[in-house]
Amino acid sequence: MQHLSYTIVLVLTWLLAKMPFFLLYRISDLMFVLAYYIIPYRKRVVFKNLRNAFPEKSEAEIRKIARKFYRHLCDLLLESIKPLTMSRQQISKRFRYINLEVIEAFNNQKRNFAVVSGHYGNWEFNHNLTHFAKREGIVIYRPLQNKPMDRLFKKIRSRYKGNILTPMENVYRNALQLHNSHKPYLIWFIADQRPPRSNRFWTTFLNQPTSFFNGVEKLSRKLDLAVVYMHVEKVKRGFYEVRFKKLFDHVAGLPENAVTLAFVNELEAEIRQKPEFWLWSHKRWKHKPYEKTEIIAR
């Protein structure tokens, strides 16, 4: 039954992915009307998150950000399936790396590195990173509960050579194998997901106590990785520009939590600049800190 469900989902997704972008965006316009006005999708969550994050903004400003967010979200949902039928060249035109010299320098230095980013802009178009970095890339993913959809997105995200799709619990083992075989590699962390109750780091983010994975911190210390932040800017509908910012050459010797705090600072600055492109529909603040939880100052 699951195989049949996956086949149906794959065929329907492939048909959508074959559509030209201008038709997909007409569908997206309809989806926006449905999701924002008719059958509201997590509207309470979105507005609560925005009001808590930006208490200084008026209700009119919050509504404006929310509408822009829903328009972007509908675009993103349809853009996410396009790599199923897109070539590297087609993606390169829509997801442009502006300052590749930042990561190209690691080839001369024979250094491995971590790329860290958030759910901002479009993270599903980042398929060419390993190609331009000239190395294999461990792409961390969290399996979806819906099995057909999980298989579909695994297929999309691992379609391009060089991307090694890896659950978080296997990242260190896979990285160690590449390290021991003297193969250059990178690890891409989307590090703003809500972590489980264990393995948490708490700090203030967008005006409220927030927990983060500290996997970037731990692995970059264990594996002696340089750390790079990936900023994604939406230039216009369907087109993005990526800029890299080197945060650290070496992590050893840095104060505890320095890597995580640096990431949080970069992400918050990015969100505050254009908040509509972050994933506000996620129940990011579902868990609250315990009374004695230490909130690390930034």
Tell me the C-alpha distance between 152 and 85, whole Å: 13
What value does the mean pLDDT take over residues 3-27?
A: 86
Residues 39-88 pLDDT 10s? 999 999 999 999 999 999 999 999 999 999 999 999 999 999 999 999 99
Tokens for 125, please give them.
């178009």
Q: Name the band, by pLDDT with cuts 50, 70 and 90, for residue 1.
A: low
What value does the mean pLDDT take over residues 267-287?
A: 96
End-to-end CA distance of the chain: 50
Checking if the pLDDT of 277 tops 90, the result is: yes
**What pTM was estimated for this model as a whole?**
0.93
Tokens for 199, please give them.
């393995």
Checking if the pLDDT of 287 tops 90, the result is: no
Checking if the pLDDT of 128 tops 80, the result is: yes
Tell me the C-alpha distance between 164 and 79, whole Å: 21
Q: What local confidence, expressed as pLDDT, does residue 259 receive? A: 96
Checking if the pLDDT of 265 tops 90, the result is: yes
pLDDT above 70 as % of the chain: 97
Strand (E) positions, the chain?
95-97, 113-117, 136-141, 163-167, 185-190, 201-205, 208-212, 226-236, 239-248
Residue 151: strand, helix, or coil? helix
Residues 100-125 pLDDT 10s? 999 999 998 999 999 999 999 999 99
Domain segments of the chain: what residues? 2-277
3-state class percentages of the chain: helix first, strand second, coil last, to nearest 5 = 45, 20, 35
Selected residue with higher pLDDT from 192 and 145: 192
Checking if the pLDDT of 12 tops 70, the result is: yes
Checking if the pLDDT of 298 tops 90, the result is: no
Checking if the pLDDT of 215 tops 80, the result is: yes
Q: What local confidence, expressed as pLDDT, does residue 13 receive? A: 87
Residue 283: strand, helix, or coil? coil
Q: What local confidence, expressed as pLDDT, does residue 169 receive? A: 87
Q: Name the band, by pLDDT with cuts 50, 70 and 90, for residue 141.
A: confident
Q: What local confidence, expressed as pLDDT, does residue 158 receive? A: 82
Angle CA 128–188–161, to nearest 5:
35
Tell me the C-alpha distance between 132 and 95, whole Å: 12
245 neighbors 231 (Cβ within 8 angstroms) = yes
